[in-house]
Structures are given as C-alpha cells and as structure tokens.
Amino acid sequence: MRNYGNLMIKHDGALGDQGFTIPALRLLRKSYNKVYLFGSPQAVVALSGTNLVDRFIIRPDNWYELSIDSKRDWLNKNLEDISFDASINFNGGILPGRYMYHKEDPNFNAPAWWIKKKVESISFFDAYSEHAGVRDAIGKRPVIDISSSEKFWLEGFRNIYKIPDDAFLLGWQFTGSSFIKWYPFFDEVIQRGIMKKYPWVYVIGLGDISNKFKWDIKYHGGRFINLGNSVSFREAYILTSILNCLVSPETGIMVFAQAWSHVPKVLLATHTYGYHYTFGETYIVQSEANCSPCYRIVERCKHDGNKPWSLCMGRISPERVFSAIENVINSFN
C-alpha cells in the first residue's frame, strides 16, 4: 500500500463518535508512517490501546473560547515537533453535521419526517469512511485488536468472580453521555425478571450509576457483578467480547461492541433507529414515543410526565426488553 507520510486527524467527537471512525482508521493506518489526532480527552479514552493513533494532541477545555491568535500560539507550541503531510477533519462528519443537529443548527427544528428521511439507511461507520475517502472500509466493523495481557484477563474473568463455566453472562450498560441514555426499569427487567426466572444468568453491570438512578439492587447470591467505574472504557468494551448478551442504550460501549459479531446485543433505541451503528446480531428495541427517533442532540429532553427519566426511555416497556433478552437466553447453547 502506498505511503503518504504523516497524517493529522481532527476529531472532537465523544466516545461513540470515535468508535465510528475505526474502520477508516484501520485502513488509513496502513497508508501513513504516523497518525496524529488533535481533539478532546475523550479521543484518548476511546482510542488508547488500539494502536491506531501514534500521538494525541489534546486541546485545552476553553479552546473554542480562545482568540485566533491564542489558538495559533497554542498550536505552534504544542505541534512544534510534529510534521504532517495530510489532514482529515472528522468534526461534522456525523455530529452535528449531515445527519444530526445541535440546537443552534438551522435544521434543528425541521419537521421530523424530513430529518428521518435524510438519515434513512445511513451507516455512521460508513459515513465516516466515506468522509475520509476510504471506500474500502465501507461495510466493515470496528475491529479491535486485543493484547495478550488483555486476553489473559478475559480468560480468567469467570474464575476471578467465581462464575460457573456454563453460566449465561448478561452485560448491562447503565449510563451514557446524556439524559436520554438511562433506562429506568432495570430493576423490573433484571432484578425481578430475568435473574429470578433464570438462575444461571449472571449480570455484569457497566457504567457509573452513583449519580444517576438509585436502583435497589439485590445480588442474588453474587450473580450481580457491578463493575461500574472499576474498569476503564477499554476494559469495559473488550469485556463485552466474552458476554453472551449485551444490553445498552445508544452509547459508546454499544458502538465498540459492534466489533464482536458473535455477541448478541439488545439496543434500547431512543434518538435514532439504531441500525445506523449496529449489525445483524443486534436486536433493536425502539422507543414508542412519538418523538422517537429525533436525531437531535439536546441538553434536556422531555420528561416522562413528572417522572425523573426521559419520555423516550419511558416508552420502552420492561416487557419488550425482557422478551428481547429472553429470546437470546433461549437460543443459548
């Protein structure tokens, strides 16, 4: 493959947005000596350990408040030992550009039918690959390479937590980056539902719940293992490779878990139709709220009446989630 020198990528996207670029990055990595990424701290969290980026240049928190001269001075200082021959700006590739909108965008209040039609059948992985001009990456998964030490940890995971070899491992992602990415009926679906009916199911909790909802979680004899913030983002998403099922809202964990075609997934879809970043093994439970999907990035979504959760999450019934998980359990060998 032809060598084009060094590449600079600009990308401020959150964890999931960084994951959408992996198919493109894997091919770009083969064409450049060095790949640099200028962006937010989330880029480091998302892509560290992937060997897809040689160096991260993290912008200051107040970057967008700085003057042009201040930005130029900062870049001159922090890039003085870096040279690059090509650049790609991933900002706007998906968010908030062609397919989703910030509230400041003139299309934010466009009719819902127009917005939904605009994104019909779009894969966000493919959109980033097309944006980068890497058409050979279209249709590809976000493949993740796992190190030998990580494989050792995964192979010993059941032993560490005294999980029987024949137990069903169900992963549950509690939180995402916004209000619409918390599911309020975990207790009904899992505590009083799945774990009660299926005593061979062990639940692995991912994501911090300390500042979210306070579920009354009983441990069912040690069958609930809440990893919370005790594992890194990378550890969490590579852990999904050994699960028998992952349940998650539209989060970065679900995006990165698309690397594992052998792991059935249940997506709780609210602001999109979900198929934009999933593959065939993912079962999508779409919210029945009239405003779902909205494809809008919002600071505050509608509440479900006077309840503390969002309307779209409140319109995903526990019965539908239970049924989706049960179908996976019943197909488990």
- Judged against a pLDDT cut of 90, whether residue 8 lies above it is answered with yes
pLDDT tens, position by position, 191-239? 889 999 999 999 999 987 654 544 555 567 789 998 877 899 999 999 9
Residue 76: strand, helix, or coil = helix
Domains of the chain and CATH, by start: 6-137 (3.40.50.2000), 148-330 (3.40.50.2000)
User: What is the rounded average pLDDT for all residues in the chain?
Assistant: 89
- Judged against a pLDDT cut of 90, whether residue 155 lies above it is answered with yes
d(CA 247, CA 263): 11
CB atoms closer than 10 angstroms to residue 161: 15
- Going by C-alpha positions, the residue among 243, 239, 238, 234 that lies closest to residue 202 is 243
Given this model, what pLDDT does residue 164 score? 95
Average pLDDT estimate for 308-323: 94
Average pLDDT estimate for 55-59: 95
Given this model, what pLDDT does residue 103 score? 76
pTM for the full predicted model: 0.92
Strands (E) located in 152-259 = 168-173, 201-206, 224-228, 245-249
238: Cβ–Cβ under 8 A, 6 or more apart, which residues? 144, 146, 150, 154
- Going by C-alpha positions, the residue among 161, 141, 165, 35 that lies closest to residue 88 is 35
- Judged against a pLDDT cut of 70, whether residue 94 lies above it is answered with no
Using alpha carbons, list the distances in angstroms from residue 29 to 4, 32, 58, 288, 310: 10, 6, 20, 41, 40
Given this model, what pLDDT does residue 210 score? 55
The residue that leads in pLDDT, 265 or 117, is 265
